[in-house]
Amino acid sequence: MSLQKSHYSIIDPNNMRKTMDLKLSHYHRVSPCFFDELNQRYKRVIFSTRTATIRIIDDYTWKLLGIGEIASIHPDIIDDLITIEILVPSNENELETIIARNETIRYQDDNLYLVVQPTAFCQLGCHYCGQEHTNKLMTEENQQRFLERARRQLETQKFRSLTIGWFGAEPLVGLSVMRSLTPKLQSMAASYGCSYNAKIVTNGLALTDKIATELVKDLSIDSIEITLDGTAEYHDKRRIQKSGLPSFDKIFANVKALVCRQDLDVQVNIRCNVDGENYESVSLLLQQLADEGIQDRIHFYVAPIHSWGNDAHTRSLSKEEFAAWEIQWFSEMIELGFNPKLLPNRNPIVCMAVQPHAELIDAYGNVFNCSEVSYVPTYGTPNEYAIAHLSGLPMPGQRERLGNFNQDVRQGKYSCSTCSMLPVCGGACPKSWLEGIEPCPSPKYNIEERLLLSYALSRLPNVYTP
């Protein structure tokens, strides 16, 4: 579709009319045309990725936009399209706008995000995991050094909040470290006028009623993410305990008990990792969760297996296959009463790698600005991604290697620089790009279907409002 410029007057915030050429923003996606029985009109759903906003537009207006006949469109519609940034000044360098906004937001971020791996051990031995697990627990000396490092960050007075992410290996194996560090971190945050919260990614095996209570009530954890790789038949072939025992029944019982607790204010996310071996089990797991009546108390999502410094991604579905299955799973979720997230939000900070102050500290005292590289033997000893060590030992990595991702995109190094999804994607994973693996998430491949689903649901009262 040709995108010609058009001449149109817009009203600036001071109600001053300015004359400006407008163009259809590069940062949009649009659904196929469909016939609306109610209005007897052909329509489309458009998605402005610059503002993560959708609009229903009749096909005739869409065609006018496409040929640059903007002056023929009703002024109210044009004003709205300008507001949601579907129409933008024709001389605007849009990539520069998005990168500049992302950079501003990442430097203005006043939350200090620190991820801690209290142990290098995990009870599970999943075939796709790239980590090497040992019995190492973070020592008291390294805990003390970590607290001092956190204090130095907070002393800069740049922050208004401190968020701790407990991550593994399996963090609950290092619960003693979490118990020891949390009150010190809480009181340190308070002494610098910062709020405190924490989240955890756990395999869920040790997440008993008692521990869940402690995590939420004593350790200020407000978000728990647990992985279930399908129903027992599938999950237990993949997420098997190192002892050889299955893990599904225990984890599922823990999840069920947790989400039924009325006294715990915590977000529970269930992640289902899929590849070519277990994708058929997603529907069965959805049904099992719905049979338990907990579908509206969890956020459920499916994630493709990716490379963890290994070849795990080679067993994955193709991007297109995954995207098609995901639409099927969304439909099933809607029918079963889940509340799936269909449309992505604006994503100015792609991940911790680009947060100037965010860090991950592993149980050995290595410091990283990425969550997927610690304990991975492929990255050598010392780990090529380690940017520091709590002891002060020099490490080979540099924060900028992943942290300069926005600059790399600005310079056209990766295809994100020409991708219309960039504002809502952010670039997905700087490390993957660096390693030559395209990390494009599923919305790139199925956003049109997501838009149609959103439209269909928006007409069903009390189900979903985009």
Does the footprint of ligand SF4 cover residue 251 (CB under 6 A)?
no
- Indicate whether 403 belongs to the interface with ligand SF4 (CB under 6 A): no
Distance CA 5, CA 21 (A): 6
Candidate residues 22, 85, 430, 455; the one interacting with ligand SF4 per rule CB under 6 A = 430
What's the CA angle centered on 173, arms 175 and 371, to 5 degrees?
95
281, 230 Cβ separation under 8 angstroms: yes
| Residue 439 binds ligand SF4, judged by CB under 6 A | yes
Site for ligand SF4 in 328-367 (CB under 6 A): 351-353
Cα dist from 335 to 16, 98, 266, 323, whole Å: 49, 37, 25, 19
**In the complex with ligand SF4, which residue's Cβ is closer, 102 or 142?**
102
Helix or strand (DSSP H, E) at 302: strand 299-304
CA nearest neighbour of 399 among 416, 380, 386, 415: 386
Q: Does 114 bind ligand SF4 (CB under 6 A)?
A: no
Number of residues that bind ligand SF4 (CB under 6 A): 22
What are residue 359's DSSP bridge partners? 114
**Nearest approach, Cβ of residue 353 and ligand SF4 (Å):** 4
Q: Nearer to ligand SF4 by C-beta: 386 or 421?
A: 421
Q: Residue 134: helix, strand or coil by DSSP?
A: coil
Q: Which two tokens stand for residue 409?
A: 């995109």
Lookup: tokens for 88: 């933008």
Structure tokens at 124: 């599970």
DSSP 8-state symbol, 215: I
DSSP 7: E
429 binds ligand SF4 per the rule CB under 6 A: yes
Stretch that binds ligand SF4, among 24-32, 88-96, 261-269, 412-420 (CB under 6 A): 412-420
Chain positions 199 to 218 lying near ligand SF4, rule: CB under 6 A, are none
Of residues 49 and 295, the one with the C-beta less far from ligand SF4: 49
How far apart, in whole angstroms, are the C-alpha atoms of residue 442 and residue 321? 10
Retrieve residue 49's tokens: 């990725």
- Could you tell me the smallest distance in angstroms from the CB atom of residue 206 to ligand SF4? 24
Which of 57, 115, 150, 440 is the binder for ligand SF4 (CB under 6 A)?
A: 440
Q: How far is the CB of 28 from ligand SF4 (least distance, A)?
A: 14
Q: Cβ of residue 417: shortest distance to ligand SF4, in angstroms?
A: 8
Task: Give the residues lining the site for ligand SF4 (CB under 6 A).
Answer: 351-353, 370-372, 402, 415-416, 419, 421-422, 425, 427-432, 439-440, 444
